[in-house]
Amino acid sequence: MSPSPLDKRIAELRRTRSRSLGLRLGGTIFACLVLYAWFSPSLELHNLFAEDRRENLQRFFTVDLVPISVQRDGSGLLGWLAWALGVLQDRALLASAQTLGIAIVAIVIAAGAAAILASFAAREDPSPTGTSSREKGNFCEVPTENSRSQIADAGACSTVTSRKASSPWLGRCLRLGFGLTRSLPEYLLAFLMAATLPHTAWPAVLALALHNGGILGRLFTETLENVPPGPGRSLQASGAGPVQTTVMAAWPEAFTRAVALTFYRFETCVRDATVLGMVGIGSIGYLVVEARARQDVPEQFLLVLCGASIVLASDLLSRMVRRRLR
């Protein structure tokens, strides 16, 4: 049976496809590293399901997770629930509210600063022909027959086809700053700031705001650069400047996308806020470290569940908002 034209075309594409030696070599090295990491002696896969591991797991769920008061009274599940309610009322609920508050304040600061700075960091709009819109001297594109009258009414063709950024170096510096702040780990930033702002929640707030501000700044900048250029060109034709064009034309187009990105980062911010308590800030993470120091496994487990509940609630809220915006 002779091959069909489609099969011939597929075979031809396979023969003529580009073959990169570097890509193949990199893939081979990566596969070897994965196999080495999986079968390395440090993992000890043969001991993962050993008898002593199964005994430890059984003791964890039957003995370690049962509070001492419940073991002493023998009250069972009802006693565990009463103990959990007491811990929630005493410490966990307040720490959960503080964790959520840290995340909210941090994401508001990060999103507000990123929105302002991204307006200056966004590059110039592309010209109608798809080429760069940077003007050199009195450069002006040659208009077509259909656009001669529009350009004549607008005054100068340079204001219709392109716009100048207020300061190219400012945009480059801002984009470099976004890359720097998002590359710094939140835990390290909070640890450094805790030395200058002790016994407050501001180290966690500022650490989360800096890190997420860099990420949102990069995302907002790319969003502004990819908005449809039509409304902006209309404003430019009427004499609006770069900042006015960004605020009045680009941001209305990018607003829903920016809100969705902000809520997406809010999920991560809540999760990170629970961990940053380990540097001595009053949140769920701080109580987990305190319970670990007392070797109170049931309280550790309950606090971890509280942190997971906060993250899950923020994730559901974020999903609902993003679905609504879409």
What are the Cα distances from residue 158, in Å, to 118, 184, 240?
A: 24, 41, 13
- Residue 215 token pair: 């990420």
The whole-number pLDDT of residue 137 equals 39
Exposure on the CB side of residue 104, measured as CA atoms within 13 A:
9
CA-based angle 218:221:222, to the nearest 5?
90
Give pLDDT, residue 124: 54
Q: 249: Cβ–Cβ under 8 A, 6 or more apart, which residues?
A: 227, 231, 232, 234, 235, 240
Amino acid, res. 18: S
Sorted by where each begins, the domain ranges of the chain are: 88-125+163-325
Q: What is the CATH number of domain 88-125+163-325?
A: 1.10.3720.10
Alpha-helix runs per DSSP H in the chain: 5-16, 21-39, 51-59, 68-73, 76-87, 93-121, 148-154, 158-161, 168-183, 186-193, 202-225, 230-237, 242-245, 251-276, 284-293, 297-325
Instruction: Note down pLDDT in tens along the chain; length 326 residues.
Output: 677 778 777 877 777 776 777 888 888 999 998 888 877 777 776 677 777 888 888 888 888 888 888 888 877 788 888 888 998 998 889 988 999 999 999 999 999 999 999 988 887 544 433 344 433 334 344 444 444 444 344 443 333 334 444 567 888 888 899 999 988 888 888 888 888 887 788 888 999 999 999 999 999 999 988 888 777 777 777 776 666 777 777 888 888 889 989 988 998 899 898 888 877 777 888 888 888 888 888 999 999 999 899 989 888 888 888 788 77
> What pLDDT, on the 0 to 100 scale, is given for residue 240?
67
Instruction: Evaluate whether 249 touches 230 at the Cβ level (below 8 Å).
Output: no
Q: How many CA atoms lie within 13 A of 252 on its CB side?
A: 8
pLDDT at 38: 79
Q: For residues 108 and 263, is the Cβ–Cβ distance under 8 A? A: no
**pTM (2 d.p.):** 0.70
Q: Give residue 209's pLDDT.
A: 94
Tokens at 116, concatenated: 């302002």
217 with 174: CB under 8 angstroms? Answer: yes
Q: What is the pLDDT of residue 208?
A: 93
Q: C-alpha angle 143/222/269, rounded to 5°?
A: 165
